[in-house]
Structure formats: C-alpha cells, structure tokens
A and B are shown apart, each in its own frame.
Chain A
Amino acid sequence: MLIELLTAKYPGMRRWLTQRLCAVSMALVLLLFWLRLLVCAPHDYSSWVAVFSSLWWRLLVVWFFVCMLLHAWLGVRDVLRDYVPHLPSRGVIQALVDVTVLGNGLAVLWICFGMNV
C-alpha cells in the first residue's frame, strides 16, 4: 500500500515525501553545522575560509542547499496553486521562482567548488 502510493501513479505523494525527507535532512545537517561552529567558531577571514576548505563541509553545504531549494520549490509551488488562481499570472510567477531556485543552486555550487577559496 505504502509502496504503491510512491509509484508514478501518485506523483503528489512523491512530492510530499520528497519535501519531508528534505526537511529532515536539513534539520540533521544544520545540527552538524551548528556543532562544527560550536567546536571552533571562526573569528576572522582565515578561520572562516578554513571552515570552508574541508571537503565534507563544502559537500554538506551543497547538499543542504539542494534539499532547501527542493523543499522551498515544492512549498512555493503549493502556495502559488492555493493563492494565485489566475493561470497566466501563476505561470509567470512560477517561472520567476524556477529561475531563482536554479540560479541560487548554481551560485552555491560555484561558491563551494568553482571559486578558489
């Protein structure tokens, strides 16, 4: 029953579960970030860069943003479906949201792995 709900027949259920899994994942990753900064709080530029120089931190930052943007995209999509009944307007706003999500994701990917910190 539960597995059937997650097949292509019920795309809404998969979106629902994706959003929840992203939420749980973000909560756990945030806990790790918090612990890391608690152990050794960066106080200047070099110590801040040192935090970002470790690979696991950068991978987790990217993972966090992937979860966050997916979670937010699904959430904003629901909000627009609830409050913007005028279809052309909703399409335009949704397109703007899509571009923002993509842009943010690429920006974080570039900050963590593109630019040489």
Chain B
Amino acid sequence: MIVKKTVKRRPKNLDLWTIRLPVNAVVSIMHRASGVALFVIQPWLCWLLYQSLVNAQGYAATAARLQQWPFKLLVTLLSWAFFHHFYAGLRHLAMDVHWMTSLQKARFSSRVVLWLVALTMLLVLWAIWG
C-alpha cells in the first residue's frame, strides 16, 4: 500500500519540449522511428518490385518514375531511414553481446553511428542527385 502511494506522488514530466535526450537516446529513438518508417513504406516497395518485373513497360515506367524529384526525395529519405536503422541496429547487436555498454562507450558508439550515417548519406546523395 505504501509503495502504491509513493508511486502515485512521483513527479511526472511528459512535456516533450523540456525533455533533452542524450545522444545515445537520440540514436535509439531514431532507430525506432526509422524502423516504423521502413515498415510503413514496405507495400510500396513490393509494388515497385512487382511493376519492375511484370513487363518491359512496367520496368520503363518504374525507372522513369524514380527519376522524378518527389520520388528521388522519397528514396533519399528512405535511404536515411535504412542506413540509420542498419548502423544503429549493429550497435544494438553489439550491446546485446555486452560490447561497449558503459555510458561513456555507449555515447561514443552513438556518435560513431551518426557519423557513419552522415558519410553514407553523402554517397547516397551523390548517387541519387549527382
């Protein structure tokens, strides 16, 4: 009973604008967000795969569509989601086997993830828009 009362009186702060996440939390929540984004877009990717394989016209239409800037932008954003999810996922796997789990090392590996994503995105931007 005593425990219940203290739990109820615990201060709550859910004002998102006053919560400042540390870098490892930022990488973690973006891992989630990018994962959800990749899941949501999945049916469209299946549709693209189908279109590109069904016949030559479908292939040409898909290739032409991917040359238009709104689709280029979408592919750029999806590439960001993929590479963030990929690198941050490798980091989570490393932590699952108890590698780099101290706070200091976790903050360091978060920065490494962000830098890897940034560098890969430079290549992606060059490949898509260059």
User: Could you tell me which A residues sit within 8 Å of B by CB distance?
Assistant: 20, 23-24, 27, 44-45, 48-49, 52, 68-69, 72, 75-76, 79, 97, 100, 103-104, 107-108, 111, 115, 117
Contacts and interface: CB of A to CB of B under 8 A. Distances in A.
B73 interface: no
B96 to A, nearest CB: 6
A72 B32 CA distance: 11
- State the main secondary structure of chain B at its contact with A: helix
Contacts of A117: 53
Contacts of A69: 42
A55 to B, nearest CB: 15
B56 A100 contact: no
A53 to B, nearest CB: 10
7 contacts: A23-B89, A24-B93, A45-B59, A75-B36, A79-B32, A79-B35, A115-B53
Contacts, number: 53
Nearest to A61: B49
B37 to A, nearest CB: 11
A34 to B, nearest CB: 12
A76 B53 contact: no
B46 A23 contact: no
Interface in B76-130: 86, 89-90, 93, 96
B46 A104 contact: yes
B10 to A, nearest CB: 17
B59 A48 contact: yes
Nearest to B82: A30
A69 B36 CA distance: 12
A35 B89 CA distance: 21
Given A45-B59, A76-B36, A52 B53 contact: yes
B30 interface: no
A92 B36 CA distance: 17
Contact of A45 (B42, B43, B46, B56): B56
Given A44-B59, A69-B42, A111-B53, 8 more contacts: A20-B96, A27-B86, A75-B32, A75-B35, A103-B43, A104-B46, A107-B43, A115-B50
